[in-house]
Structure 1
Amino acid sequence: MAHAAMARLTQGLSPETLVASYADWWVHLAMAPGKQKELAEKALRKTARLVRFSAQAAGEDCAPCIEPLPQDKRFSAPEWQQWPFNLIYESFLLNQQWWHNATTGVNGVSRHHEQIATFGTRQLLDTFSPSNFLATNPELIKKTVEEGGANLVRGARYWWEDGLRQKTNQLPEGAEHFRPGHEVAVTPGKVVYRNELIELIQYSPQTETVYADPVLIVPSWILKYYILDLSPGNSLVRYLVERGHTVFMVSWKNPDANDRDLGMDDYLNRGVLAAIDAATTIVPKRSLNTMGYCLGGTLLSMAAATLARDGDTRLGSMTLLASEVDFTEPGELSLFIDESQIAYLEDIMWEHGFLDGKQMAGAFALLNSRDLVWSRMVHDYLFGIRQPMTDLGAWNVDATRMPFRQHSEYLRSLYLNNDLADGRYQVDGRPIALSDIRVPVFSVAAQRDTVAPWPSVYKIHLLTDTEVTFCLTTGGHNVGVVNPPGPGVRRSHQVSTRAADERYVDPGTWFANTPAIDGSWWPSWAEWLEAHAGQRVAPPALGAAKAGLPVLGDAPGQYVLMP
């Protein structure tokens, strides 16, 4: 109860983990005279550079003494190159760089504690960035002078409105214009199966003939499925059915306190495997092409390994979108995963029977707070400019919950213990092995993905003994996947296939030797999928009433609308 109450103040982060990390760093730094000497010398050199720069800072052609990182766009406007603002931001960047040096490379500090100390220090420094304050942001000063302060008044109103919406559990401004079944998730279809955990949607055919082998899509249970069926121009589902595919979609129920005891076995057996049973009943005697997104891809991999172990050959191929099957290097998300943090989360979930999706959204925002928190606050509340809501943005705030038991099990078995990759994960009392999977795999990763870093996704090559086509796209975890082709698309991707008997190529070598292709990855994947989808035939019926799978209602169904 104490931890659950404390979590409201710490946003679900374990204070024990934070204290232990900084204590580990501080004690080892205190006992490292060599590192202390190095840091002192760096401080003197940086101070000397700043002094030299300050003497020239008022000049028109003054070269900066430190450049921002490529992804840091806070100081890119011309106004920042004017004195004294160039001196202000340069001193901030030098200070930021010194603290990075101070929190890394301290001999004896555990890797996990070093990551947390570095991350926490960076978060604190970003809070005090000169771009966040009126007095030290020249772009903001110019805007305020031009508008006579109207931007600040407008921003204060936005801040008040957003605060009221948050306190009363209302959606952010503009999200009401992207409602499932109205503006998004509008691809025609029917719910053809429902149990206490999933609804299965079968989409109506859009072509006179379809590929014989259908497609089953398994989204992650920590998100609502319509990220893959947003507005018509951004819908992967619509893209597939318009190319002649019969598409099935799993829609997960948003769990509540009554579902606290649902576990990973339920999500596998009553989720993915139940959907496979239903889809292959409706379209019998055909191979099933499958796709999983994020943790849905992880769960699909577990289902594929289970079917392979048991001699079930219904699957024809497997596509994984930003999905990890090895969790030894899950990127900065690992900052929130250790024994102390998971125990803390379990205490939080114990109180309500689930983990609120808003807490997980807060953790994801922390991973990129510079862009998702501070830049947004400056833009909305100081510049007084509302970012227009998009279909992807509205989906992002349509949060889901995670059941107590299931969330605890997957964090421990997958992230903490890496049981799936190491062959220890058990289904129905027997272990499964990813190396048993023999169907061809198409694996998609995104270059700027902080949730499923692409080198980690690439490890599918090490864990399977089948043909793997790997595709690396530009963008992040969501934008990299929701990437429709069309005019104005500023994306590229790299793709190549490794045969089952070919030698392993490390990710760095693969990246260097695989040419980039302009445009969306969707067409490249569609060509691959169609090579595994059979001949064109007449569309199947929606549902199979005689087999106990009648049409239960129109898409998007009931579960996606649950608050």
Structure 2
Amino acid sequence: MTNKKNGNIDSAINPKLDGDAHVAWAQAWSSISPETSLLAWVDWASHLANSPGKQAELLAFAASLSEQWMAVLKKNRANPNRGATAPDRSPVNDRRFNDPAWDQWPYDLFRSSFVNQTKWWEQATQGVWGVDPKHQRLLAFGAKQWLEMLSPANAAVFNPVVLKRTIAEQGANLARGTSNFLDDLRRQLSGQPPAGTENFVVGRDVAVTEGKVVLRNRLIELIQYTPTTEKVHPEPIMIIPAWIMKYYVLDLSPHNSLIRYLVAQGHTVFCISWRNPDAEDRDLGMDEYLEFGLHAALDAVTSVVPGHGVHAAGYCLGGTLLAIGASAMARDGDTRLVSVSLLAAQTDFSEPGELSLFINESQVALLEASMAQTGYLTSDQMSGAFQLLRSYDLIWSRMIDEYLLGDRRPMTDLMAWNADGTRLPAKMHSQYLRRLYLNNDLSAGRYPVTGRPVSVGDIAVPVFCVGTASDHIAPWRSVYKLHLLSSAELTFVLTTGGHNGGIVSEPGRGKRQYQIHTRAAGDGYMAPDEWQATMQTHPDSWWPAWSAWLRERSGDVVAPPLIGAESSGYPTVCDAPGEYVRN
């Protein structure tokens, strides 16, 4: 179609043409932007081509690594039955090569080749003049993924542990592995959960803490949990979990349920259970998550427990939402919150860690094109990125155990929860990525709520903030940046574990420890590395420290409030865990 006046193509057609092309491009690349990787490679290659000194350095380094490999080869030629005298197991703590069988010929050569390639690419992707730091990190990450895939440990013929098992079992392990692979493939194609998840049924094995749903709207169910003590602290706890996954990561099995623990400590606990959105919810944005999520739940909690302030706690994205909502409440003079607890939640996204490798303009645009067709982001798309951050633990080592050694890894409640994915509405996810990750609007005081920007610095109530030491999603130094945004009383905890395991850290669990310090309101700033080096380390779980912190900021114990009372305006809808969590 042409415009009769000037003969140009009608501009109304262009958006549709571009949209269709972008959707096809997103499908072809599984919503992973190839342009991002291409730009990083061109940036690195072109600057390396103009750096003869760096080229010479890499050539010399390759020569030295080659000499090391030849030395191993010569030793083995002289005595092929002898293992390497000083096996090189770098990269440090590489569990792939812990078995002594890797010290024997020819497997020490395979290991040495892999280690040398890893060392060379680490050197090659660092310190190249003029390369954008983000491109450098992306290229290093990409090289690592390729090397992980090409590791000799991943191939039966190069892995002595697998070969030993195969000989001992006369190939029975490979038969079991093939059966495991076919079962996983069948489950994936049919949309079924992974093997073993049937042992962790919601409402039967996990999410079994007793309670009632007292509110249901288009976005949430609000659960009020049944008290287990004769008296409770008057201020209730309202938990806002992330809607990226199901809420019951905080209510797993009875022995490691944070919610059950809080109830047993004499707290009245409410928790949001988010509805799993579908295509009809494509236009739900962050404003709706505030309105129908945080504010609707807070209205219900203060009606069921009138006359008392609320301890609000948010985990992951739920914590970021809480920080936004609490900032708006402080701006508007709403004093219903008596404290704010942020668990592995970021408020400053300037340094979000390795996850930032998947978040740039090109990547977000491709995700938006994909979501424009479906109306949401699937859980598979999101979990794929998270798996790449820990590809050896979550992909390759599992493949070796289950497909080559033939040993099914035992399913745990946390693994079963992780497989119970959720979708994300297109509008919300786009806003989240653009406003927070790309633009960092919240920390800069540009994030709008009801048309006006909010500032985290307006939050004046005490804050309890938890970072986890090996978090790949919300790195603890990024979480720690709250110290720069808020001058309120701030208690910071650094605990061992990752994004999920560090939070699900019940008392009595081995090898857990934490550091804690309270910065008084208005006190000066301490850099994160100095903080970590200075603060005393405590054994076991941080849960008791949080419960004590909440008690210190609560009133004298009283009789528990009624559950689902008609008089409160929030009668019982159904028993916990509700219906939304099962969708």
Normalization by structure 1: what TM-score? 0.97
Contact in 1 for aligned 2:72/2:84 (Cα 8 Å): no
Retained in 1: the 8 A contact 2:470–2:496? Answer: yes
Q: Which of these residues, 488, 493, 497, is aligned with residue 475 of structure 1?
A: 497
Q: Does 1:553 align with 2:574?
A: yes
Partner of 1:509: 530
1:55 partner amino acid: K
2:17 matched residue in structure 1: none
**Which residue identity is paired with 1:561?**
R
Q: Residue 285 of structure 1: which of 307, 310, 323 is its match?
A: 307
The alignment of Structure 1 onto Structure 2 pairs a total of residues equal to 560
What corresponds to 2:471 in structure 1?
A: 449
Pairing 1:493–2:514 present: yes
Q: 2:453 aligns with which of 431, 435, 442?
A: 431
- Aligned-partner SS, 1:445: strand
Higher deviation after alignment, 279-288 or 10-19: 10-19
Change (3 A) 1:537 1:163: same
Whether the 8 Å CA contact 2:303–2:569 is kept in 1: the answer is no
Matched with 2:559 is 538
CA distance 1:49–1:237, change in 2 (3 Å) = same
- Which consecutive unaligned segments of at least 5 residues does structure 1 have? none
1:148–1:6 distance in 2 versus 1, CA, 3 Å:
farther
1:87 matches 2:106 = no
Which residue identity lines up with residue 134 of structure 2 in the other structure? H
In 2: Cα distance, 1:73 partner to 1:64 partner: 13
Q: 2:56 aligns with which of 21, 32, 37?
A: 37
- 2:10 equivalent in structure 1: none
The answer to whether the 8 A contact 1:256-1:353 is kept is yes
| Deviation by residue 1:391-438 (Cα, 9 ceiling, x = unmatched) | 111110111001011100010000000000000001011110000001
Question: SS of 2:35's equivalent?
Answer: helix
The equivalent position to 2:540 in structure 1, one of 519, 524, 540, is 519
| C-alpha distance in structure 1 between counterparts of 2:371 and 2:444, whole Å | 28
Please name the residue that 1:340 is paired with: 362
Query: What CA distance in whole angstroms lies between the structure 2 residues aligned with 1:219 and 1:60?
Result: 52
Aligned counterpart, 1:18: 37
Write the distance in 2 (CA, Å) between the matches of 1:428 and 1:68: 51
More deviation in 8-17 or 167-176?
8-17
Instruction: For residue 544 of structure 1, report the CA deviation from its aligned partner.
Output: 4.0
Residue 141 of structure 1 corresponds to which residue in structure 2? 163
Give the conservation status (yes or no) of the 8 Å contact 2:487–2:523.
no
Deviation of 1:66 (Å): 5.8
The correspondence for 1:67, drawn from 90, 106, 110, is 90
Higher mean displacement: 342-351 or 5-14? 5-14
Which has more radius of gyration? 2
Moved more, 428-437 or 523-532: 523-532
In structure 2, the residue matched to 1:268 is 290
User: 1:227-262 deviations in whole A, cap 9, x for unaligned?
Assistant: 000111111010011111100001111000110001
CA distance in 2, matches of 1:48, 1:500: 59
Alpha-carbon distance in structure 1 between the residues aligned to 2:311 and 2:464: 11
Asked if 2 retains the 8 angstrom alpha-carbon contact of 1:56 and 1:62, the reply is no
Q: Matched residues in 1 for 2:216 and 2:125: separation?
A: 51
Q: Compared with structure 1, are the counterparts of its residues 80 and 188 closer, same or farther at alpha carbon in structure 2 (3 Å cutoff)? A: same
Correspondence for 1:243: 265
Letter in 2 for 1:536: V
The residue type paired with residue 513 of structure 2 is: S
How far does the alpha carbon of each residue in 1:40-77 deviate from its partner, in whole angstroms, 9 at most, with x for none? 1111121122223333355456113562223x211111
Letter in 2 for 1:510: W
Report the Cα distance in structure 1 between the residues aligned to 2:356 and 2:124, rounded to whole angstroms. Answer: 21
- Three-state SS of the structure 2 residue aligned to 1:494 is strand
* 1:388 to partner: Cα distance: 1.0
Question: Per-residue CA shift, 1:3-49, capped at 9, x if unaligned?
Answer: 43443443321111111111111111112112111111111121122
Q: Structure 1 residue 522: deviation in Å?
A: 1.0
Q: Which moved more, 1:292-301 or 1:72-81?
A: 72-81
Q: Does 1:364 align with 2:383?
A: no
What residue identity is the alignment partner of 1:69? V
Q: Is the contact between residue 507 and residue 540 of structure 2 (CA under 8 Å) also seen in structure 1?
A: yes
Identify the residue that residue 253 of structure 2 maps to in structure 1: 231
Using the TM superposition, give the Cα deviation of residue 118 of structure 1 relative to its aligned residue in structure 2, in angstroms: 0.9
Match of 1:100 in 2: 122
Cα shift at 1:548: 2.3
In 2, Cα distance between equivalents of 1:3 and 1:147: 51
Q: Give the whole-Å Cα distance in 1 for the aligned partners of 2:538 and 2:22.
A: 50
Q: Secondary structure at the match of 1:123?
A: helix
Q: Secondary structure at the match of 1:210?
A: coil
Work out whether 1:377 is the aligned partner of 2:396.
no
For 1:69 and 1:539, locate their aligned partners in 2 and report how far apart those are by CA, in whole Å. Answer: 53
Give the secondary-structure state (helix, strand or coil) at the position aligned to 2:97: coil
What are the within-5 Å matches in structure 2 for residues 309-324 of structure 1? 309-324=331-346
Cα gap change, 1:83 to 1:119, in 2 (>3 Å): same
Change (3 A) 1:62 1:413: same
Partner of 2:235: 213
Matches of 1:94 and 1:255, distance apart in 2: 47
- What do you get for the CA RMSD once the two structures are aligned? 1.3
Structure 1: distance between partners of 2:121 and 2:460: 48
Q: Is the 8 A contact 2:203 2:577 kept in 1?
A: yes
Please list, as runs of the form range in 1=range in 2, the aligned pairs for 1:147-186 lying within 5 A after superposition.
147-186=169-208
2:549 paired residue among 528, 531, 548 = 528
Moved more, 355-364 or 19-28: 19-28
SS in 2 for 1:241: helix
Q: Which amino acid aligns with 1:524?
A: A
Alpha-carbon separation, structure 2, partners of 1:186 and 1:281: 25
Question: For residue 386 of structure 2, what is the amino acid of its counterpart?
Answer: F
Following the alignment from structure 2 to structure 1, what is the Cα–Cα distance between the partners of residues 335 and 30?
A: 45
Give 3-state SS (helix, strand or coil) of 1:557's partner.
Answer: coil
One-letter code of the match for 1:419? Answer: D
Looking at structure 1, the residues matched to 177 and 520 of structure 2 have their Cα atoms a distance apart, in angstroms, of: 56
Structure 2: how far apart are the matches of 1:374 and 1:439?
46
Q: What secondary structure is seen at the aligned counterpart in 1 of 2:516?
A: strand
- Find the aligned partners of 1:406 and 1:61 in 2 and give their Cα distance: 56
Aligned counterpart, 1:411: 433
CA drift at 1:353: 0.5
Correspondence 1:48 to 2:71: no
